[in-house]
Amino acid sequence: METQIVNATEYLNVTLALLSESKTNPRRTFEEVSLKELASSIRTQGVLSPLLVRPLTENGFEIIAGARRYRAAQMAEVPTVPVRIVHLSDAAALEAQLVENLVRSEIHPMEEAQGFRALLDLEDPKYSIEQIAAKVGKSPVFVASRLKLSDLVPAAVDAFYADEIGVGHALLLAKLPADQQEAALSACFKEVYNGGSKPARILLPVRNLQFWIDSNILLVLKDAPFNKRDAPLVPTAGSCADCPKRTGHNKLLFGDDLGRQGDRCTDPNCYAAKVSAHVAQTIAAKPELVQISSAYGAQREGSTVLPRNKYTAIRDDKPKSKDDAKRPEFKVCKFTTEAIITEGGDVGSIHKVCANPSCPVHHPKQPTSRNDEKWKAEQDKQRKEQAIASATGLRVLAAVPVRLLKRDLLFILEKLVSIMDENRVEMLARQHGIRQKRDDGGIGKTLTAFVRRADEGTLSRLMVEASILLASLRGNPATILKEAATAYKVDTEAIAAKVKQEFAVKDKAKKAAQPEAKVAKKAA
């Protein structure tokens, strides 16, 4: 006998045919094994907890809470189930569904997010994040994070439901613009070859994804060369101050990051467009600006931008020693002028440079007496001493034991490399077996690519090596190396003796080869 719809709130047993699942129920996934276990329990003990339902305008009831019990009852083929009938508005029903699912068996975070979103989108009554948090007994930060999951692109949603990524990965991905999420999703994994025809895909820890995002997507706005409040700079983008893609725009989501990193842009494409517009605007206003490149390697053919070896950048800071004061980059000449970086790192920033090749201060002439034997001998001696010192330095660096955590290593290392001169960049690259590729952007680009693929131990070593090389700019390189060697208990004297011995063997072999070459030449 069919149970008729009643007007009063009460408990009844109703047939399954009178029940229908709610379209607004946030729960969308039901584990098959768990349902079968519940169905087995229902066959022996029945449904112990009534389903929460509300009357429909037609004959029947809508399930507010209890869809899992309803499905298990269908599997168990029981004739009726107990229900509690309540009269709820759409908003109240949705709220009840969300709360009911949160206090029962764990709901998937995506379903939780969709439930929160449905509440937030209601026209009447209107909910705020704080009100939803109070209703479900969670913090506003938790609700805001779950709401952000509804911004995941389909590929990320599918990976999340398939348990290919965890909730930590999903939350980081959801904070990014849609056009950046798929690239970041790929960064969640690494491929490992185990002898099979195809590589195995391994999920990396959340911290690895955060590190990749920090290195490849997020940009510190305080370092931007353009005016962040200049809305007309790129009209379609508007002002950074009003941009929702700025981390500071949503303090509930990025509160912890704001304290450590400051306000950051999550849209590198928009950032790049503003940098380009700023460069064009600046050059139009000051056509006399010299355009320079901070990148390493060969320039594009026909480029009007000056490469690194065609100018000397004048440093703004004061020299810290008398030796520093003698260096060209601390001196100002009559040819000093303003320049704007249009290629490489720090594009859009203004610097003082000397680009005059005849400047006696920054481009001193080389000695003209190149045929002078004494001068040549002195040059050979200096080159040999420098080669021995460099080889000894590299051996000392290689002997330094490095064990650091991989956190901000990549960020720090890229900053260190960006302020190193070309000789030290080459020295650092050679230390790790990297040779210059002239057709692929030069040694700087090759080193950067190597760094981004490096493991934690290699990054740690690179950072220490780069720090020592940079420190040698401000003082005696031999002293810096000695201090590093003392700190890490490296025997520099033994290394230096071995290097000198190797060079002596090479010199002896070279001298022995010279008479043989002369004899062969005469015989010919």
For 496-524, write each residue's pLDDT tens digit.
788 788 888 888 887 777 666 555 555 55
Residue with tokens 């449905």: 118
Q: What is the DSSP string of 409-449?
A: HHHHHHHHHHTS-HHHHHHHHHHTT----GGGTHHHHHHHH
Label the pairing between strands 189-192 and 61-65. Answer: unpaired
User: What is the reported pLDDT for 260?
Assistant: 64
Residues recorded for the chain? 524
Give residue 462's Cα distance to chain centre. 19
Q: What is the DSSP letter of 305?
A: S
Burial of 227-243, coded b for 16+ CB within 10 Å and e otherwise, reads ebebeebbeebeebeeb
pLDDT above 90 as % of the chain: 13
* Closest to 428 (Cα-Cα) out of 388, 383, 459: 459
Burial of 337 (C-beta count, 10 Å sphere; 0-12/13-18/19+): middle
Q: Specify the higher pLDDT residue, 135 or 473.
A: 135
Does an H or E element contain 293, and which?
strand 290-293
User: Hey, what are 516's tokens?
Assistant: 């043989």
In angstroms, the CA 332 to CA 354 distance is 8
Instruction: State yes or no: pLDDT of 399 exceeds 90.
Output: no
* Closest to 167 (Cα-Cα) out of 207, 210, 110: 110
Q: Is 150 helix (H, G, I), strand (E, B) or coil?
A: helix
User: Hey, what are 474's tokens?
Assistant: 């401000």
Quickly count: other Cβ atoms within 10 Å of residue 122's Cβ: 14
Residue with tokens 């948090």: 133
User: What is the reported pLDDT for 503?
Assistant: 80
Q: Which amino acid is at 101?
A: N
Instruction: State yes or no: pLDDT of 404 exceeds 60.
Output: no
User: What is the reported pLDDT for 408?
Assistant: 62
pLDDT band at 340 (very low <50, low <70, confident <90, very high): very high
User: What is the reported pLDDT for 256?
Assistant: 62
User: Hey, what are 66's tokens?
Assistant: 């209890």
